[in-house]
Structure 1
Amino acid sequence: MTMKKWVQAFGALLVTLIAFSGLIGLGHSVHAADDSLAKVKSRGVLVMGTSPDYAPYEFIINKDGKNEVVGMDVEVGKAIAKKMGVKLEIKQMDFDSLLVALQTGKVDMVLSAMTPTASRAKSVAFSNVYYKAKQYIIVNKNEKDLYKDKSSFAGKKLGVQTGSLQADIAKSQIPTSTQLGLAKVPDLILALKSHKVDGIVAEDPVASAYVQNDSSLAAIDGKFNLAGDDLGSAIGFPKGATSLVKVANETIAEIKQKNLFPTYLKTAGKDMAGNVQNTSMLHYWSYFAKGVGYTLLITLLAILIGIPIGTLFALMRLAKNKVVHLIAVSYIEFVRGTPLMIQIMFVYFGIGLLVDIPALVAGVIAVSLNSAAYVAEIIRGGIDSIPVGQTEAARSLGLSQRQTMQSVIFPQALKNIWPALGNEFISLIKESSIVSIIGVTDLIYQLKVVQTATYKGVQPIVVAMFLYFIMTFSLSKLLNHYERKMQHDN
């Protein structure tokens, strides 16, 4: 392809993306009147977004064989939904995806121990602060005597949750420290135990929860300088949703008047204690089994969808029609040139803004379309590997172009590309783990759930590694069987 055609293709793609961005912006233009509360009441459901890895605010327990999100924030959410006269629906995702979900209409509110910072307030309408807590630093117990407060961590490495208040205050008040930012608190705990960080900045209730359930940890008062009414935890709503904010503020006032927060924390403590009564990995087999099931389902659907689409784009790229060829090249190069994680978020949050797409469906679509681009190149390479004489011989015998491709070229190409296709299928099992960022309960997601529930970092990882190995090894053996069979048929 010439440079001019590449520029034309890139320009067309850029215009398309800009136009799509314009549609998104148009969909979020300022409303003449606030109808946010009316919409929630008409649906009968209030959708709450949260990252359930932050006990005692929000975490997961197994109740009657099913995962259930519980914690203080969930109780607040239930109270708000009750006041509105609707049901509460909880959507789970990574903490740093919550505001995107709010801005794209995936959730009605974010209740996840979020601090109403000035930067967030530019794009989010916050309720009044409903809970304030001190900021502590979690350390390994055998190193507790080395630290007194935040000043002891000058020049040290601190773990913080990505996009959190803790990340901001650690950066501003301990400027000589370095940070390791991770999306999940269990990952930070694992980093602490493996001495990747010297401490973790966390709110008092969170620090207490981990220390009480893990004898190898300790917590010290960081003595951070916290001031202002904007500090603490608040509920995030879309900009302009004043009617929702009003109901939330009324509910928060009632909860404080009745002094219900100590009760909420006490209930959360009981749930946490139930989680750690039996922390053996065997006890959590159903979690891992569910994760394996979803991982295999996503992989299977991605293969079934990706192969036909990939084959189509391979043929389009080999076509003599310049327009068809350009479309195929643009698609393949664009998909291969962007991270799968971004593609998943675009499908779920971007396209999902126009059409409500469930997380699982969005994950399958993104993984399938991503795989199709790689399958297309594999198939194209296989077709190109067949000598031109094969095509000429078939056409001289009276076979049409379609018959030649179907009966002569493609069967030979399939034998050549089978190992490469097999590698792509095996990679799909592992790459599908990225769908956990939008709340799909695949194996990686369930791994995080078990880590949060048991306060164990390494054991769930070992189990997940073993399960991934079983899946990939089994598929590898199956693919090798058919490869030997095809070679034998020669």
Structure 2
Amino acid sequence: MNILKSKWLSKIILSLIAIISFTALLSINTYAADDSLNRVKQRKELIVVTSPDYPPYEFQVNHKGKDKIVGMDMDVVKKIADDLHVKLVIKSMNFDSLLVAIETGKADMAIGGINPTKERRQSVDFSDIYYNGGQSFLINKSDVNKIKSVKDLKNQKIGAQTGTLQYDLAKKKIPGANVKGMDKSTDLVLALKTHKIDALGIEKPSAEAYVKNDKTMAMIPSGYKLSTNEVGAAIAMKKGSTSLVNATNKTIAKIKKQNLTEKYLASAGKYMKVNTVNTSMTHYWSYFVKGIKYTVLISLVSSLFGVVLGVALALMRFSKSKILRGISISYTEFIRGTPLMVQVMFVYFGIGVIVNIPALLSGIIAVSLNSGAYVAEIIRGGINSVAKGQTEAAASLGLSKTDLMRFVILPQAFKNIWPALGNEFISLIKESSIVSIIGVTDLIYQTNIVRADTYRGVMPIFVAMVIYFIVTFALTRLLNYYEGKMKHA
């Protein structure tokens, strides 16, 4: 038995190595010649990814009932698209996924106040720097007498967005600093306001935006002395995209010559005033409604496919075929042994190298595959819970194995596992929130947008909690109703 397990383990490891190697090879730029600019023109679309939670660079507004991503960066890429005579297409996702999207061909450009550091230049190409606003620190206004300059941050808790220049600078340049990284700038601002951190490293324009819109906050200069080739904001493109980089730099040169960035910042400021006129949660009700629609859609579809896949895997587990049993065991163990977030990113970015799968469909596929593994184990437990006497009685009536499983075993198994299956459905609603990392506009994604737009950290989270509770409570009651009917059936 141990030898058999070892063989299967070896096969699994070899298969994983083959998949990773194949994906890595596909990720390599295999174009004989650079055709990045031609691809954009032939497609007649410039696809740009951004994380719209970083005002005034990019953020979302609710203007006259319509959602729109605006900001200085959006004006920059709009100018680039106009110069190329193509349509601008904006895709949203987490900041730490932007460069991955470029490397895997999900977009032509990534923009979002991205600093062209040496480390990042190893993975992607960058345009010329189009804006350099400088570095600052956000602090609580109540600490202005305690923290007057960067020297006062020695041995303090400093927050910065994970993977950013601000994070690296705080690590290197502030003695004894305890640097805490988070994926979202909105989470960092909340951490600052609740005194989980003493200061937040952030670009000066964003710091100014928060100070203007939140009276409890203040800012101090960073005092950093930095080389000009890695500070400021630049646009990221796939390695080898020389023609697209050159075309982009021509537009950036025009922007600098005409001093358009100041005009773009003024425009962003006007949009920010639209957001802060009314920061009540009722004003943003459409955001939450849109988020819950996507959350429910993903959960329902994934639950259906998860049950179908789970039944198939459970039946394969009871098969006499060693191959089918091996596939079922390997799949279940592998899926349960890896995080859902990694699976979502692999489906969207990894498989996306071969087939360009939209973000929503990628999220549904990943959540369905994940749910199937857990449902398979629940169903297997349910089948094992059916008394052996039922099998013997069915055999005495001359039922075939297929009819035995269909009419005797599975109905009783589902009756036994209904509470566990219901718990899996409820968990799925909450766990599906992970799809927000690839830009699916579920409830968590929309909550973060509202937090960024309104400069309110806690209230949007509270609203999201209430919505999740209402949905899961209603589903629990519905499942309990059907469980009661089963008991009396």
TM-score by structure 2 length?
0.98
SS at match of 1:295: helix
Taking the aligned partners of 2:144 and 2:160, their CA distance within structure 1 comes to: 18
Q: Deviations over 1:180-226 (max 9, x none)?
A: 21111111111011111011001110000001000011111121122
Comparing 478-487 and 10-19, the one that deviates more? 10-19
Q: 1:45 deviation in Å?
A: 0.6
Which residue in 2 is equivalent to 1:243?
243
CA distance in 1, matches of 2:316, 2:87: 49
For 1:165-204, what aligned pairs fall within 5 Å after superposition?
165-204=165-204
Residue 393 of structure 2 aligns to a residue whose secondary structure is helix
Paired with 1:88 and 1:326, the residues of 2 have a C-alpha distance of 48
Q: 1:294 is matched with which residue?
A: 294
For residues 217 and 111 of structure 2, what CA distance do their matches in structure 1 show?
27
5 Å matches for 1:44-63?
Answer: 44-63=44-63
Residues in 2 aligned to 1:452 and 1:36: alpha-carbon distance in whole angstroms: 33
1:54-96 per-residue CA deviation (whole Å, 9 max, x = no partner) reads 1000111123423211111111111111111111111111111
1:476 paired with 2:458, answer no
Distance 1:367 1:291 in 2: 17
What is the aligned partner in structure 1 of residue 3 from structure 2? 4
Specify the alignment match of 1:214 in structure 2: 214
User: 1:334 deviation in Å?
Assistant: 0.3
State the alpha-carbon separation in 1 of the partners of residues 165 and 262 from structure 2.
Answer: 23
What code does the residue aligned with 1:295 have?
A: T
Q: Is the 8 A contact 2:150 2:220 kept in 1?
A: no
Displacement of 1:101 in angstroms is 0.6
Q: Which residue of 1 aligns with 2:164?
A: 164
The residue number in structure 2 matching 1:142 is 142
After superposition, the C-alpha distances for 1:313-359 in whole angstroms (9 at most, x for unaligned) are 00001112111100000000000000000000000000011101000
Equivalent position amino acid for 1:226 in 2 = L
Partner in structure 2 of residue 284 of structure 1: 284
2:126 corresponds in structure 1 to 126
Whole-angstrom CA distance in 2 between matches of 1:57 and 1:87: 20
The residue identity in structure 2 corresponding to 1:284 is Y
Q: Is the 8 A contact 2:161 2:182 kept in 1?
A: yes
Residue 318 (structure 2) pairs with residue 318 (structure 1): yes
How far apart are 1:150 and its partner, in Å? 1.6
Hey, what's the Cα distance between the residues in 2 that align with 1:187 and 1:6?
A: 45
Aligned pairs for 1:257-268 within 5 A? 257-268=257-268
Partners of 1:30 and 1:240 within 8 A in 2:
no
Contact 1:213–1:276 (CA<8 Å) still a contact in 2? yes
Conserved 8 A contact 2:51-2:95 = yes
Letter in 1 for 2:231: L
Counterpart code for 1:59: F
* 8 Å Cα contact 2:116/2:229 also seen in 1: no
How many pairs were matched up?
488
**Residues 137, 200 of structure 2: 8 Å contact kept:** yes
Once the two structures are TM-superposed, the CA of residue 179 in structure 1 deviates from its matched residue by 1.5
Is 2:401 the partner of 1:404? no
SS at match of 1:180: strand
SS of 1:394's partner is helix
The letter for the 2-side match of 1:144 is V
Alignment of 1:15 onto 2:19:
no
Q: Which residue of 1 aligns with 2:382?
A: 382
CA distance, structure 1, for counterparts of residue 320 and residue 384 of structure 2: 14
* TM-fit CA distance, 1:125: 0.6
Partner of 2:446: 446
Q: Determine the structure 2 residue equivalent to 1:360.
A: 360
**1:408 shift after superposition:** 1.1
Aligned partner letter, 1:10: L
Partner of 1:39: 39
- Superposition RMSD on alpha carbons, in Å? 1.1
Q: C-alpha separation between the residues in 1 aligned to 2:418 and 2:74?
A: 50
CA separation of 1:91 and 1:3: change in aligned 2, threshold 3 A = farther
Give CA-to-partner distance per residue, 1:243-291, whole Å, 9 cap, x none: 0100111000000111101100000000001001000001100000111
Q: What CA distance in whole angstroms lies between the structure 2 residues aligned with 1:4 and 1:271?
A: 66
Which amino acid counterpart does residue 165 of structure 1 have in structure 2? Answer: L
Does the CA contact (< 8 Å) of 2:63 and 2:274 recur in 1? no
Moved more, 443-452 or 60-69: 60-69
Distance between the aligned counterparts of 1:276 and 1:167, measured in 2? 29
Deviates more, 1:18-27 or 1:319-328: 18-27
Match of 1:308 in 2: 308
8 Å Cα contact 1:394-1:404 kept in structure 2: yes
Task: Measure, in 1, the Cα distance between the counterparts of 2:9 and 2:50.
Answer: 37
* Distance in 1 of aligned mates of 2:327 and 2:64: 51
The amino acid of 2:22's aligned partner reads L
Larger deviation: 366-375 or 409-418? 409-418
- Flag the 1:312–1:193 CA change in 2: closer, same or farther, 3 A: same
Q: Which secondary structure does the structure 1 equivalent of 2:158 belong to?
A: strand
CA distance in 2, matches of 1:466, 1:392: 50
1-structure distance, mates of 2:407, 2:137 = 67
Alpha-carbon separation, structure 1, partners of 2:37 and 2:404: 62
Contact kept? 1:147, 1:153, Cα under 8 Å: yes
Structure 2 letter corresponding to 1:143: D
1:254 matched residue in structure 2: 254
Offset of 1:26 from its aligned partner?
3.0
Q: Distance in 2 between matches of 1:5 and 1:237?
A: 48
| Residues 158 and 198, structure 1, Cα contact 8 Å, conserved in 2 | yes
In the alignment, what sits opposite 1:66? 66
* Inter-partner Cα distance in structure 2 for 1:229 and 1:483: 64
Measure, in 1, the Cα distance between the counterparts of 2:451 and 2:3.
Answer: 52
Following the alignment from structure 2 to structure 1, what is the Cα–Cα distance between the partners of residues 150 and 284? 37
1:292-331 Cα deviation digits (max 9, x unpaired): 1110000000111110110000000111211110000000
Closer, same or farther: CA 479–270 of 1 in aligned 2, 3 Å: same
Aligned to 1:232: 232
Partner Cα separation in structure 2 for residue 392 and residue 162 of structure 1? 60
- Determine the C-alpha separation between the residues in 1 that align with 2:46 and 2:218: 38
Displacement after TM superposition at 1:438 (Å): 0.3
Cα displacement string for residues 24-56 of structure 1 (whole angstroms, at most 9, x for unaligned residues): 333324432100111111111111111111100
Q: Which amino acid aligns with 2:345?
A: M
Distance in 1, matches of 2:219 and 2:72, equals: 21
Query: 2:275, 2:454 within 8 Å by CA — same for their partners in 1?
Result: yes
Q: 1: distance between equivalents of 2:133 and 2:4?
A: 59
Distance in 2, matches of 1:345 and 1:70, equals 26
Q: Which residue of 2 aligns with 1:344?
A: 344
Please give the alpha-carbon distance, in whole angstroms, between the structure 2 residues aligned to 1:289 and 1:412. Answer: 38
Partner of 1:78: 78
One-letter code aligned to 1:9:
W
Distance 1:229 1:126 in 2: 11
Please give the alpha-carbon distance, in whole angstroms, between the structure 1 residues aligned to 2:104 and 2:280: 39
